[in-house]
């Protein structure tokens, strides 16, 4: 997903090219993906997509920092909580 969102935000609206980014676990035929990616890429919707994607990236970065902090904390268990 990440690559196709970045491609769309970079201005690539070609459904054939975008469909190639689909996850390998996706069972839908490439033609069905192309059909879903065919549309009107309105400026307001692209802005919304970009905003949502930036928020997603921020939260993923925060999660990674928390995960690193949890693994670096002495006395942490698998749930990430420290024992008293």
Q: Does residue 82 sit within a domain?
A: no
Q: Does residue 77 sit within a domain?
A: no
Is residue 82 classed as helix, strand or coil in its secondary structure?
strand
Residue 45 is predicted with a pLDDT of 96
The Cα–Cα gap between 21 and 2 comes to 9
Interior/surface letters 1-40, b for 16+ CB within 10 angstroms, e for the rest = eeebbebbeeeeeebeebbebbeeeeeeeeeebbeebeee
Residue 7 is predicted with a pLDDT of 94
pLDDT in tens, 22-47: 888 999 999 999 999 998 899 999 99
**Per-residue confidence band for 69, with pLDDT thresholds at 50, 70 and 90:** confident
Count of the separate structural domains present in the chain:
1
- State pTM to two decimals: 0.70
3 against 77, higher pLDDT:
3
Q: Does residue 9 sit within a domain?
A: yes
Q: Does residue 81 sit within a domain?
A: no
For 39, the domain range is: 2-71
């Amino acid at each position: 997903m990440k690559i196709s969102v970045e491609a769309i935000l970079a201005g690539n609206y070609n459904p054939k090219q975008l469909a190639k980014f689909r996850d390998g676990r996706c069972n839908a035929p490439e033609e069905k993906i192309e059909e879903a990616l065919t549309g009107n890429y309105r400026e307001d919707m692209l802005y919304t997509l970009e905003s949502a994607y930036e928020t997603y990236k921020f939260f993923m970065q925060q999660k990674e920092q928390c995960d690193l902090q949890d693994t670096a904390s002495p006395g942490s268990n698998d749930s990430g909580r420290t024992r008293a």
